[in-house]
Amino acid sequence: MKQLKILKVENPIQELCIAYGLLAILRQNDVSCKLSNKKACYVIEIYDEVNYIEFFLDDLPFEKVNNLNSTINKSEIEKLLAKTQEFFECEQNLDNIFKYYETLDESIISSYKRDEGALYVGTCFYSKGLRSYKAPKSERVYPFEKFLSFLGFHYASSYVRLSDEVEINWLLEPKKIEDVLKIELFSYVDKETGEIKSLRKIRDDSKVVTLSRIYLEIIQYLKGEQISNNYDGLWVMQVVPTNNKPLMDKVKVFTILDLNEKSLEELLKKVTYSTVNRDCKYTTASYVLNPDEDSLFKMIQQYTKRNETISETTAKELLKLNAFQDVYNAEVITKLGRGLNRLVQDKKGYSLQVSLMSCVHEEDLIEILQDMSLLYNRNYKTYLLNDENMNELMSLLNDGVKLKTLSNLILLSSNTYKEKVQKKEEIPLNNDVAYILTDENRNPEYTSVDKNQNPTKDVA
């Protein structure tokens, strides 16, 4: 078994793209291999017996290179394609490249000069940035580094332009993979050819909402294909279009959130459906992209103000991201949330919602909960909390749970709903009793049934 190593020393995006470029060449030559993401390098394990000098690279037509942003123009793409094709047509170049990454022996590449401008590196001050084409004086790299990163970025990244606001590329950060995966989320059918093509320009919601939609749909795809464990994260690169060369906006790597399929589906509805309030949509998107405590509380308060509900399953999945699930599951939080929900539905608890959103002192929280209990008892002739519940609440405060956390979790609990679970009815059958078989429309399939035939009854 042979191993190729791509060291992580300069630019994380460029090094990832080089690894993808090498993997793409290996897969085009039907070589069995695996790419692993280590702390100091990317490692490609080759399981087959290979002769590097026999490798080839598929032709890459200009019209298929449509996932680069506008920091590189058409003439630059044409020149880059021609250089790349010419470089890899030389068998000795392919042999040298693979031998170098196998041995890391710099004498193998001593004949190459660092006279090419790097790809996807932003400026010299923002090495993680995205800049598709740079002059050699900015950052000099070996030609094979430039061409491999170009190939890797082409085969592994996706691109979309959000009107004239921002251009977005995304690139999966692998953990352990055997092939290059490129996820295209937006497509259309060509009316002339009937071919499904990638859509590169869309008119969607705001940048934050669109980013969260892309992020959630990628996670949903990985979950659906049961390969989410094969990836560590997602690089998202943005540039702002201008009349000349676009300016880099920001580059961020997102982790692959561990959310179940129902929660992903509901969150996608929250950020895509036009029926969802815009403020709720924005705060949901903001929390998905940056699941910290402040974003969570902003989302909860917007849901409370706009009377937007969320399923209890999704709420618990989101709270796992901030380790609030145990607090949320406390009986006192559930009781207070359900009690507040009942009061609000009867148009009696709006002032309590406002008080909880602005609560800053422990004494204020105790007073609010006392008022809630009295109001609940006055309207429904029963007590909302017992002594054990109050002791549980004080225990949470004594354990260091923040006041703001408690008040917001009560608000969240008041805005959640439980999904109905449909139980399948099981009907025991008696062998001594004859049943009439029915079709899907519940019409009898037979007019008479023999006693010994022992059919089963349709319970659908």
Min mean pLDDT across 83-92, 108-117, 212-221, 428-437 is at 428-437
Same domain assignment for residues 427 and 417: no
Write the CA distances from 39 to 6, 8, 12, 42, 120, integer angstroms: 11, 8, 12, 8, 21
Higher-pLDDT residue of 445 and 398 is: 398
Tokens 């059918």 — which residue?
A: 189
Residues 368 and 366: their CA atoms lie apart, in Å, by 5
Position 296 in a domain: no
- Look at residues 91, 126, 156 and tell me which one is the last residue of a structural domain: 156
Q: Are residues 391 and 452 in the same domain?
A: no
Query: Has residue 207 been placed in a domain?
Result: no
**Does the pLDDT at position 451 exceed 60?**
no
**Predicted confidence (pLDDT) per residue in 333-372, tens digit:** 999 999 999 999 999 989 999 999 998 888 899 899 999 9
Band of residue 162 on the pLDDT scale cut at 50, 70, 90: confident
Do both 427 and 406 map to the same domain?
no
Domain assignment present for 356: yes
The answer to whether residue 281 sits within a structural domain is: no
Pick the closest to residue 415 from 345, 302, 310 (CA basis).
310
* Same domain (yes/no): 436, 408: no
Among the three residues 109, 126, 156, which one is the final residue of a domain in this structure? 156
User: What's the rounded mean pLDDT across residues 181-198?
Assistant: 87
Tell me the sheet residues that pair with 417.
311
Tell me the C-alpha distance between 256 and 150, whole Å: 25
Residue 437 and residue 395 share a domain: no
pLDDT at 454 over 60: no
Q: What integer pLDDT is reported at residue 291 of this predicted model? A: 92
The pLDDT value recorded for residue 198 is: 86
Could you give the CA distance from residue 298 to residue 408 in angstroms, rounded to a whole number? 9
Do 28 and 145 have their domain in common? yes
Q: Is the pLDDT of residue 129 over 50?
A: no
Q: Kindly tell me if the per-residue pLDDT of 127 is higher than 50.
A: no
Residues 339 and 355 in one domain: yes
- Is a pLDDT exceeding 50 seen at residue 114? yes
Same-domain pairing of 379 and 360: yes
Structural domain including 81 reads 2-156
> Is position 45 within any domain?
yes
pLDDT interval class at 113 (50, 70, 90): confident
Binned at pLDDT 50, 70 and 90, residue 179 comes out as very high
User: Do 342 and 385 share a structural domain?
Assistant: yes
Distance CA 299, CA 290 (A): 12
Name the β-bridge partners of 235.
171, 253
For the chain, the average pLDDT equals 84
pLDDT per residue as tens digits for the range 382-402: 999 888 998 999 999 889 889
In a domain, 26, yes or no: yes
Assign 441 a pLDDT band (cuts: 50, 70, 90).
low
Q: Is the pLDDT confidence value at 191 over 50?
A: yes
pTM of the model: 0.82
51 and 65 together in one domain: yes
pLDDT of residue 418: 74
From 131, 156, 181, give the residue that closes a domain.
Answer: 156
Total number of domains constituting the chain: 3
Check whether residue 396 and residue 459 sit in a common domain: no
Cα gap 404→407, rounded to integer Å: 5
pLDDT of residue 269: 94
Quick check: is 54 in a domain? yes
Q: With bands split at pLDDT 50, 70 and 90, how would you rate the model's confidence at 430?
A: low
Is 128 inside any structural domain? yes
Mean pLDDT of the region 2-29: 91
- The answer on 454 and 351 residing in a single domain is no
More confident residue, 251 or 147: 147
Taking residues 73-88, report their average pLDDT: 87
